[in-house]
Structures are given as C-alpha cells and as structure tokens.
Amino acid sequence: MRNMSIIVLAAAIILGLLAVAGVQGVLSAKNGNSAKVAMTTVVVARKALEFGNELSVDALEEKQWPADAAPEGAFAKIDEVVGAERRVALRSIAVGEPVLKDKVSGFGGRAALSQVIEPGFRAVAVRVTDVSGAGGFILPGDRVDVLSTISPTNEKIDTITNILLEDVRVLAIDQEADESTGGAIVAKAATVEVTPEDAQKIALASTIGTVSLSLRNMLSLADNSTAKTATNKPIRYRDLGPAVEEAKKPQAVRAAPGTPYATMNVTRGDETTRSNVPREGGRPQASIGGAASELHASAAGGASRTASTLKIAAPAGE
C-alpha cells in the first residue's frame, strides 16, 4: 500500500513538470512570433488638424506601426511632411491618425477646394434652400442623392420628379469645406463632386426645372453592396394617391335654368308676326309638335288674310 502511494506521488510530480514545460514552450513560441513582426515608422497627428491648418513639427509625431498594416500614402518621417515651404491639411485629421498624402497639400500649397477633388471629377454648385437642402443638415463630406423636378408641358399636373444622381459626395456648403463642421448650416449653395457628364445633367436640370438634395445614411456606405439601393422610379402626379385621382375627374356642369322657347320674327308680305319656337332640347317632342301646329295655323291665317285683301282690291267684273 505504501509502495502504491509512492508511485502515485511520483506520477503526479512528473505530470506537473510536463505541464510546466508545456506552458513555458507556448509562451516562448508567442514571444518568438512577436519578435518576428516587422515594424516601421508612421507619422501621425499629435493634435487635431482641421481643413486649412498648417502642418508643423509640433503638430506631428512618429510612431511605431506594423509594417504590413501601414496605410497607403503614409509618411515615415516628419521631415517628409514638413519642409522649407508650408503644407496644409485638406481634410480633418484626428489625434493619433496617420497623416496621408491625399489629406495634405503639396509644398507651398493652400487650402483650396481644387486640391480636394478626385482625379477625373468636377465640382458643381447646386442652389439649395432650407427645404431642398434637407433643413441645413447636409454638411461637407456627406453623401447625397440629386433629385430633379421638371414639367415637360409646363403644367403642374404633368410634373415629374426623378433621381438624377445617386451617392454623390458633398465637397462644400456655401464657403465651408471643413468636413469636421458640426451642426446645421442653412445654405444657399452646395458644391458636389461629380463626373463631367453628371455636371452637364445638373446644369440642364437646374435650367429647365428645380434640383434638390436627399441626404444618405453614412453608415451604409461601408457596405458597397448597399451603397446604391434607391429605385430610380419617376414619381408623377398620379402617384400622390387616390385623392389626387379623384380631383382630376371632370365635374358635371349643370346648365342654368331658362325658358324652353325662343322668339322668331315671321314676315309675310308687308306683315310681320312674332312666334315662339322650342329651343333644341328645351321641351319634350309632344310640345315641339304642338308649337309646330301653332306656327302652321298662324301661317295659314296670315295667308287667308292676304288672299282676302287681294280679292277686295281686284277691279269689278273680274
């Protein structure tokens, strides 16, 4: 019995040593892998930079960054960013965010909107109001849809609203191009970034009709599959609901009441008489027949009187 206890104790000690050795091996492997990660230097913002802020040594710092995760367009040394000529930020850069080439101007550059436009695109201004500009909540950096409202016949009933452009980037609101701008801005113009062909479409739509902007959800832009989900269906007058269709139906016009007869002058020889004749659709057929009989009797009486007059006036012996 005593020998069995000694054997169990020895086995437990051996298993414990093996477990400790295994844990040390795993930790050593992790440390070895960490040591193998290649690192590089990336220039980041030491303090927040806004649109137009000048880049200086005090505003930047160098940080260690995994080489395989370094962002494209990053600077490795502060000397590459700050030189003899000034450079300014073209977009907002947060604290600790890498400074990229597309977010800063060139040496001697200035904070101009032309430097923010992507290659192959154009900047076009769209006239907006507090209503057509989404209540002033469209800000630089937002994405919008451009709506066009026109009437081909210049009649309100033929007016059509169509989605002219989708997922368009807003460059500036009035003269404000800083993407870090907060709050609402009730502006008179919004500058958007579009292709040359789309710029022509906006110019034409603004001339023959009205153009308005529809603000898009920024969170959905991360998924390219849902970036453009709007159905481009033209909305017409009849699409506003059944009440509109009812209003379009012609209403029956009731004629004003009046006499069913009209007065006609009848001249027989040197005698003129006035007779009443029925208006078209003014009285039933029987009444029309009665009026015709009355007119016939009147005509017969006049003819008889004319014949009598001629007989009296005739010379004797005839």
Residues in the chain: 318
Asked if pLDDT for residue 216 goes beyond 60, the answer is: yes
Asked if pLDDT for residue 133 goes beyond 60, the answer is: yes
Rounded-to-integer distance, Cα 49 and Cα 210, Å: 37
Q: Give me the pLDDT at residue 25, please.
A: 75
Q: Which residue has the higher pLDDT, 4 or 161?
A: 161
Q: Residue range 267-287: average pLDDT?
A: 66
Q: Give me the pLDDT at residue 204, please.
A: 95
Asked if pLDDT for residue 318 goes beyond 60, the answer is: no
CA 150 from centre of chain: 13
pTM of the entire predicted model: 0.53
End-to-end CA distance of the chain: 184
- List CB contacts of 180: < 8 A, sequence separation 6 or more: 50, 51, 92
On average, the pLDDT of the chain sits at 77
Extract the tokens encoding 189.
């113009």
Q: Residue range 252-272: average pLDDT?
A: 67
Where are the chain's structural domains? 39-111, 120-248, 261-306
CA trace torsion 279, 285, 291, 293 (10° rounding): 150
Q: Give me the pLDDT at residue 246, please.
A: 56
CB 244 within 8 A of CB 237: yes
Backbone angles phi, psi at 70, to 5 degrees: -65, 130
- Region of 317 please: left (phi>0), alpha (psi -120 to 50) or beta: left
| C-alpha triplet 34, 37, 38: angle, nearest 5° | 150
Rounded-to-integer distance, Cα 104 and Cα 82, Å: 11
Rounded-to-integer distance, Cα 158 and Cα 204, Å: 19
Q: How many CB atoms lie within 10 A of CB 196?
A: 10
- List CB contacts of 118: < 8 A, sequence separation 6 or more: 193
Which DSSP symbol is given to 74? B
Q: Using CB atoms within 10 Å of the CB of residue 105, give its burial: 0 to 12 exposed, 13 to 18 middle, 19+ buried.
A: buried
Identify the band that residue 308 occupies on the pLDDT scale cut at 50, 70 and 90: very low
Lowest mean pLDDT among 98-107, 145-154, 198-207: 98-107
Q: Give me the pLDDT at residue 2, please.
A: 64
Rounded-to-integer distance, Cα 197 and Cα 164, Å: 12
Identify the band that residue 298 occupies on the pLDDT scale cut at 50, 70 and 90: low
Q: Give me the pLDDT at residue 150, please.
A: 93
Identify the band that residue 309 occupies on the pLDDT scale cut at 50, 70 and 90: very low
Q: Residue range 135-161: average pLDDT?
A: 89
Q: Residue range 98-114: average pLDDT?
A: 82
Alpha helical stretches, state H, the chain:
2-36, 196-208, 242-248, 285-312
Extract the tokens encoding 60.
């930047």
| Helices first, then strands: H and E counts in the chain | 4, 9
Q: Residue range 263-287: average pLDDT?
A: 68
Asked if pLDDT for residue 288 goes beyond 80, the answer is: no
Regarding the domain delimited by 39-111, which CATH topology (the fold level of the hierarchy) does it fall under? Type Iii Antifreeze Protein Isoform Hplc 12 (3.90.1210)
The pLDDT tens digits of the residues spanning 36-55 come to 678 899 999 999 888 888 88
Asked if pLDDT for residue 243 goes beyond 60, the answer is: no
Q: Give me the pLDDT at residue 237, please.
A: 81
Q: Give me the pLDDT at residue 5, please.
A: 72
Q: Residue range 16-44: average pLDDT?
A: 75
Rounded-to-integer distance, Cα 170 and Cα 128, Å: 13
